[in-house]
Amino acid sequence: MEMNINASTQICGLIGNPVGHSVSPVIHNNLASIYGQNLVYVPLEVPEGRLEDAIKGADAFRILGMNVTVPYKSDVIPFLNSIDPLAEKIGAVNTLVREESGYRGYNTDMPGLYRAMISDGVEVAGKDVILLGAGGVARAVALLLLEKGAKHIYIMNRTLERADNIAEEINGYADREFATPMGLKDYPVLQNGSKYLAIQATNVGMFPKTEEAVIEDEDFYKMIEVGYDIIFNPMDTKFMKNTRMAGGKAYHGLKMLLYQGIIAYELWNNIQVRDEDADRIYELMKKALQKG
């Protein structure tokens, strides 16, 4: 469908710094075409120190909605009208939805991860999970795993103190011993014949350092039934390769990126994206990444 931009065209966009290499326009502009909506999505780079001005300007222009990427996912919160409880708990917002005046903040990253896992046939409920990393993303994943009924999580990190801090917070939410902090070298204590879902929530192995993995030991990967890497560039990380070589299934983070965008689009337009259309967009995203 050919786009006819006019005075009725709805504007959505991505705010961050930088935003030039984002594949988000592939998601939203193609969804607008598929569903026949007069909407255009553009990257909107916000210079340091101008975030509040950007939000006020977007409100003045009545921009329908925006995604938020680094470094503004937490910084944007003080400039919102309201915030969704999940985003407030995570402490990060990646989607702004227009209200009568101003914006409501949501976090669609974690619901996006969950929809990606469902799409790939990955079960969470009742599972013992190894979570690699103890940064902001790992903390958000831990909250998601608690919400979706995982049995127990083992938070492994180079710095044990950071893993300990997240575990203490998550256990407070759970009101039970749900999360156990561990150092990366402590994994042998889990070698009891059990198979784990492992989520790689660090940036280790991301382009251009594609030959790195948080844990290199072959014995670690023998414990993994399913390995999920939040990284999508490269599309076959060292973590994924190691998982497959040890006999497990491995997935990357591109579908998480897809579904966080789809959920944002659904919030902006009050529609439900069909599975077959999500599959079409996914193929277009892969092509866009392959082209660089």
Which amino acid type is present at position 242? N
With tokens 């350092």, the residue in question is 209
Q: Say whether both 115 and 208 belong to one domain.
A: yes
Count the domains in the chain.
2
Residue 195 among the catalytic residues: no
Same domain? For 235 and 271 the reply is no
* pLDDT tens across the length of the chain (292 residues): 566 899 999 999 999 999 988 999 999 999 999 999 999 999 999 999 999 999 999 999 999 999 999 999 999 999 999 999 999 999 999 999 999 989 999 999 999 999 999 999 999 999 999 999 999 999 999 999 999 999 999 999 999 999 999 999 999 999 999 999 999 999 999 999 999 999 999 999 998 999 999 999 999 999 999 999 999 999 999 999 999 999 999 999 999 999 999 999 999 999 999 999 999 999 999 999 888 6
- Count of CB atoms within 10 A of residue 102's CB? 15
| CATH for 41 | 3.40.50.10860
Instruction: Determine, yes or no, domain membership for 1.
Output: no
In terms of DSSP H, where are the helices of the chain?
24-34, 51-60, 85-90, 109-119, 136-147, 160-174, 218-221, 238-245, 254-269, 275-290
CATH code at 215? 3.40.50.720
Residue 2 domain flag: no
Same domain flag for 186 and 268: no
pTM of the model: 0.95
Tell me which of 56, 73, 195, 209 is the catalytic residue.
Answer: 73
- Do 115 and 248 belong together in one domain? yes
Q: What is the rounded distance in angstroms from the CA atom of residue 51 to the CA atom of residue 190? A: 45
Strand partners, 131: 155, 199
Residues 6+ away with beta carbon under 8 Å from 23: 257, 285, 288, 289
Joined together, the tokens standing for residue 72 give 């503004």
Verify that 167 and 227 share a domain, yes or no: yes
Tell me which residue range forms the domain holding 95: 10-107+255-290
115, 155: one domain: yes
Return the closest-CA partner of residue 122 out of 223, 227, 38, 46.
Answer: 227
Could you tell me if residue 5 is inside a domain?
Answer: no
Residue 244 belongs to a domain: yes
Sequence letter at residue 85: P
Peptide bond into 43 cis (omega under 30): no
